[in-house]
Amino acid sequence: MNALLKTDPEIFNLVKSEEAYQKRTIRLIASENYTSKAVLDACGTVFQNKYSEGYPGARYYQGQVNCDGVERLAIERAKALFGAEHANVQPYSGSPANLAIYLAFAKPGDTVLGLNLSHGGHLTHGSKASATGKWFNAVHYSLDPVTGLLNYDEIRRMALEHKPKLLIAGHSAYPRQLDFAKFREIADECGAILFVDMAHFAGLVAGGAHPNPVPFADVVTTTTHKTLRGPRGAMILCKEKHAKAIDKAVFPGLQGGPHNATTAGIAVALKEAMQPEFKEYARKTVENAKTLAAELTKRGFSLVSGGTDNHLMLIDLTNKNISGKEAAVAMENAGLILNYNTVPGETRKASDPSGIRLGTPSVTSRGFGADEMRKIAEWMELACSHSQDNGKLEAIAKETSALCERFAVPGIE
Ligand SMILES: *Cc1c(COP(=O)(O)O)cnc(C)c1O
């Protein structure tokens, strides 16, 4: 990065400082990961210089010989990896990908049905704070207050009552697998488009560690940077009969030119996700999450739904007498990076809620296993019980960074 150092030492120094930070801290944010050096290389290329409005073979700008090649590879790999009839790899990120689904299938004021934000849904599933909640009539299903699980009878009841245009399945904080056959049945009963947002668990699907929604759903969106381990971006997978509507919604409906360098990075990440090692990563991500969940439960942490069968955990800290934000800050000071989160039946405000969310994709990409999960649980408990003791938190931070020194970070030399 000599050119960057010469042109802009301030940014260069922040990049170097971030590299060091990512090396010495334990990243437990469920939506984050580390891309490979190959993905980073593909993103920092001259494909940054090209405009390609349109789709391969049908562009509005000349000079697409190489851009078409990149986008075609990304599309073919996405279709093969997930068994999809059609793929659009142009959405700038998960939120615009989701907005494209509304644009393709609904009119402002139409009803959509998705998971409640404070029960693990996403803002773009019709939250009042989001355009999707302001422009559409969003109704929400919730988790069962006793089991912490989705209640498919209740989803069916609401679907038949509200007759939504879109039935949305998917989440940002639900620690269990989804029953896509049930969602399909409900969508058919109420005449809805089944829209699955697999942003969080797409990497597990690719690696065979989570059921694949693609055969069941009309349309599936995903980010490419979470468990899938690619650059920041998104894709839409759908049945051939919806291909035109989806492509038109992305461009020209919502976006201009695609980010070709990102598309190149997505293509590389998809190739990596087709390798045997990726299956192993997906399997270990779930295994690590289960180990960490068991260790945390042993230490008195209360996990929503009682555990996990994917890559993430949601913890209600009410019984630990500490708020989600206080715990997240204490853990950050101890070198454990995660986020505070609302929990089902939340009684506090979203800016300082009762819970924390954590996940194992990043630490698994880094090579952590069962021993490290046990240490993390121990440190989390210590950080919670000593949240006001900066000396103690600093002592834990020394231990977490010593552990980190033993594990390389993918993509960072
Ligand atoms: C992360 C996420 C998104 C949004 O992705 P961005 O790239 O942050 O816009 C959408 N849906 C779900 C379920 C997510 O978890």
- Tell me the CA–centroid distance for residue 117 and ligand 1, in Å: 12
- Mark whether 152 is an active-site residue: no
- Say yes or no: 255 and 329 in one domain: no
Residues with Cβ within 8 Å of residue 275, at least 6 apart in sequence: none
Q: At what angle do helices 180-190 and 152-162 cross, to 10 degrees?
A: 20
pLDDT on residue 1: 85
- Say yes or no: 50 and 195 in one domain: yes
- Say yes or no: 386 and 248 in one domain: no
pLDDT on residue 341: 95
Q: Cα(315)–Cα(173) distance, rounded to whole angstroms?
A: 10
At which residue do the structure tokens 């979203």 appear?
350
- Say yes or no: 245 and 118 in one domain: yes
Evaluate: CB of 361 within 6 angstroms of ligand 1.
no
- Say yes or no: 165 and 261 in one domain: yes
- Say yes or no: 293 and 396 in one domain: yes
- Of 273, 299, 332, which residue is a domain's last? 273
Range of the domain at 125: 40-273
Residues with Cβ within 8 Å of residue 174, at least 6 apart in sequence: 115, 119, 120, 143, 150, 305, 310, 312, 314
- Say yes or no: 55 and 197 in one domain: yes
**Rounded mean pLDDT, 242-264:** 98
- Of 252, 273, 294, which residue is a domain's last? 273
- Say yes or no: 265 and 288 in one domain: no
Q: Is the pLDDT of residue 403 over 90?
A: yes
Q: Cα(33)–Cα(250) distance, rounded to whole angstroms?
A: 26
Q: Is the pLDDT of residue 145 over 90?
A: no
pLDDT on residue 146: 87
How does DSSP assign 267-318, residue by residue? HHHHHHHTSHHHHHHHHHHHHHHHHHHHHHHHTT-EEGGGS-SSSEEEEE-G
Give pLDDT tens digits for 27-58.
999 999 999 999 999 999 999 999 999 999 99
- Of 273, 300, 318, which residue is a domain's last? 273
Q: Cα(372)–Cα(207) distance, rounded to whole angstroms?
A: 22
Q: Cα(235)–Cα(96) distance, rounded to whole angstroms?
A: 10
pLDDT on residue 52: 98
- Mark whether 197 is an active-site residue: yes
- Say yes or no: 390 and 299 in one domain: yes
- Tell me the CA–centroid distance for residue 190 and ligand 1, in Å: 26
Evaluate: CB of 31 within 6 angstroms of ligand 1.
yes
The SS3 assignment for 385 reads helix
Query: Which one of the listed residues 232, 299, 348, 375 is annotated catalytic?
Result: 232
**Which residue's CA is minimally distant from atom 6 of ligand 1?**
94
How does DSSP assign 310-372, residue by residue? SSEEEEE-GGGT--HHHHHHHHHHTTEE-EEE--TT--S-TTS-SEEEEESHHHHHTT--HHH
Q: Which ligand 1 atom lies nearest to the CA of residue 232?
A: 7
**Rounded mean pLDDT, 328-342:** 97
Q: Which ligand 1 atom lies nearest to the CA of residue 198?
A: 13
Q: Cα(390)–Cα(235) distance, rounded to whole angstroms?
A: 43
Query: Which one of the listed residues 41, 53, 287, 381 is annotated catalytic?
Result: 53
Neighbouring C-beta atoms of residue 118, cutoff 10 Å = 21
Q: How many domains does the chain have?
A: 2
The SS3 assignment for 55 reads strand
- Say yes or no: 113 and 195 in one domain: yes
In this structure, what are the phi and psi dihedrals at residue 87, rounded to the nearest 5 degrees? -135, 135
Q: Is the pLDDT of residue 85 over 90?
A: yes
pTM above 0.95, yes or no: yes
CATH number, residue 179: 3.40.640.10
- Mark whether 141 is an active-site residue: no
Evaluate: CB of 284 within 6 angstroms of ligand 1.
no
- Tell me the CA–centroid distance for residue 122 and ligand 1, in Å: 7
- Tell me the CA–centroid distance for residue 223 and ligand 1, in Å: 6
Structure tokens at 290: 């289960």
The SS3 assignment for 382 reads helix
Q: Which ligand 1 atom lies nearest to the CA of residue 125?
A: 11
Report yes or no: 228 and 203 within 8 Å, Cβ to Cβ: yes
